[in-house]
Amino acid sequence: MKIRSFDTYILDLPIIRPHQLAMHTITAQSVVVGRVMDEEGREGWSEVATIGGASYGESTPEAIKANIDAYITPLVIGRDPIHFDKIMMDVSKQVRGNTFAKTVVEAAIIDLAARSKGVPAFELFGGQIHKSLPVAWTLASGDTAADIEEARGMLEKKRHNIFKLKIGKGDPFKNVEHVRKIKQAVGDEARITVDINQAWDEDTANYCIAALQDAGVSMVEQPLAAWDFEGMSRLTAKFDVPVMADEAATGIQEVFRIAKTRAGNSIALKPCKHGGLTQTKKAAGIAEAAGLGLYGGTMIESSLGTAICAQLYATIPEMKFGTEIFGPLLFKDNITVNDIEFADFEVIIPDGPGFGMEIDKEKVKHYAREFQSETEMRV
């Protein structure tokens, strides 16, 4: 069994409502989908999502696709997909950075390898520990009354009892008051977390985290710039509320630095920022050894990308802060035939062959940008 081809497609998928972050408001989500084929015609599929073009990071959809096509694909053709770790080690020797691109390639190869053996992908990572995991929902209307109503609806339907608010944009002090009112409204029925997306300086963080802690918020995510490890260390030492590193917790070296300097007492895992599933497991191991809490993060993936994250997170012993892999609930349409299931405040881990999702190729073709200009998509 050898890899014959690797194709990449950029898809622009509609979402049900705008999703606001500090640096960008998502009105349609761009994902990069990979498809690997072996010589027998078997396929593996993968996905990573990006946020706001270049406003979030350097891995834009266009850059991901270009670098896979030009630099990574030639390195995987002819290789045996079951040796995915060796393949990606060799790729990393010749391709620096490009963690999103590497994740697309590795995940598709893992999907193919697992399908060839007729097993879920989590069997290749030590097996499944969790059948389901807690899943948070982001309240993003910006209107306090509307967010309270939405949270109460989610609680009533037993869909979510963890709510995140993105508060990096606008007046920090008004945003804190917005959070305080929502926490007061839901009380002990739900946990409230906040994500600053690097938007505060240390003076602002000192004041606002104190107020958030007093309001009963259960976690504060990446209040300072990713490079400010010293500032994050001071905040972590000063406050009782957990301070989570996200954008700062990229490669395993950065995760080790966070653990060593306590630049956060928890980290958000995301395969795309670590450079793939194997690297994410390594990051989780470093964090676990250092006593850092873990959180299963998201880049707002659709059903395929969410299944990839869910299967990997299901192999990690303790996800102290649960997950945020609610992405499929935000999309108007799906590129898989089957759906991710959510029930009793948790996401159910898919357990079919590979990542457990069956691709709707017509939907991929419908949403792909200019796939006709590439090698014709073989349906």
Q: Tell me the percentage of the chain whose pLDDT exceeds 90.
A: 90
Query: Which of the residues are catalytic?
Result: 166
Question: Residue 290: how many CA atoms within 13 Å on its side-chain side?
Answer: 23
Question: Options 2.60.260.20, 3.40.50.1860, 3.30.390.10, 3.20.20.150; which CATH number does 3-119+361-372 get?
Answer: 3.30.390.10
Alpha-carbon distances, residue 29 vs 113, 195, 210 (angstroms): 28, 19, 34
Please state the three-class secondary structure of 33-46 as a single string.
Answer: EEEEEECCCCEEEE
Q: In the chain, which segments carry CATH 3.30.390.10?
A: 3-119+361-372
What CATH number has the domain spanning 124-348? Answer: 3.20.20.120
Q: pLDDT confidence of 7, banded at 50, 70, 90? A: very high
Q: In the chain, which segments carry CATH 3.20.20.120?
A: 124-348
Q: pLDDT confidence of 26, banded at 50, 70, 90? A: low
Give 172: exposed, middle or buried? Use CB within 10 Å, 0-12, 13-18, 19+.
buried
pLDDT at residue 24, as a whole number: 61
Contacts of 206 (CB under 8 A, 6+ apart): 235, 238
Alpha-carbon distances, residue 300 vs 208, 286, 305, 314, 352 (angstroms): 27, 25, 9, 18, 22
Q: Tell me the percentage of the chain whose pLDDT exceeds 70.
A: 94
Amino acid at 365: K
Identify the weakest region by mean pLDDT among 43-57, 79-93, 170-184, 299-313: 43-57
Q: pLDDT confidence of 144, banded at 50, 70, 90? A: very high
* pLDDT > 90? residue 36: yes
Q: What are the φ/ψ torsions at residue 347 (nearest 5 degrees)?
A: -100, 130
Question: Residues 259-287: what's their mean pLDDT?
Answer: 98
pTM comes to: 0.93
pLDDT at residue 154, as a whole number: 96
Contacts of 259 (CB under 8 A, 6+ apart): 286, 287, 289, 290, 292
Question: Residues 139-158: what's their mean pLDDT?
Answer: 94
Q: pLDDT confidence of 28, banded at 50, 70, 90? A: confident
Q: pLDDT confidence of 372, banded at 50, 70, 90? A: very low
* pLDDT > 80? residue 86: yes
* pLDDT > 90? residue 139: yes
DSSP string, 51-108: STTTTT-S--HHHHHHHIIIIIHHHHTT--GGGHHHHHHHHHHHS-S-HHHHHHHHHH
pLDDT at residue 374, as a whole number: 44
Q: pLDDT confidence of 264, banded at 50, 70, 90? A: very high
Q: pLDDT confidence of 352, banded at 50, 70, 90? A: very high
pLDDT at residue 19, as a whole number: 64
3-state secondary structure of 153: helix
pLDDT at residue 271, as a whole number: 98
Alpha-carbon distance of 294 to 316, in angstroms, equals: 9
Residue pLDDT, tens place only, 207-220: 999 999 999 999 99
Strand partners, 295: 268
Alpha-carbon distance of 6 to 285, in angstroms, equals: 30
Residue pLDDT, tens place only, 159-205: 999 999 999 999 999 999 999 999 999 999 999 999 999 999 999 99
More confident: 374 or 43: 43
Alpha-carbon distances, residue 143 vs 83, 128, 163, 193 (angstroms): 50, 40, 15, 17
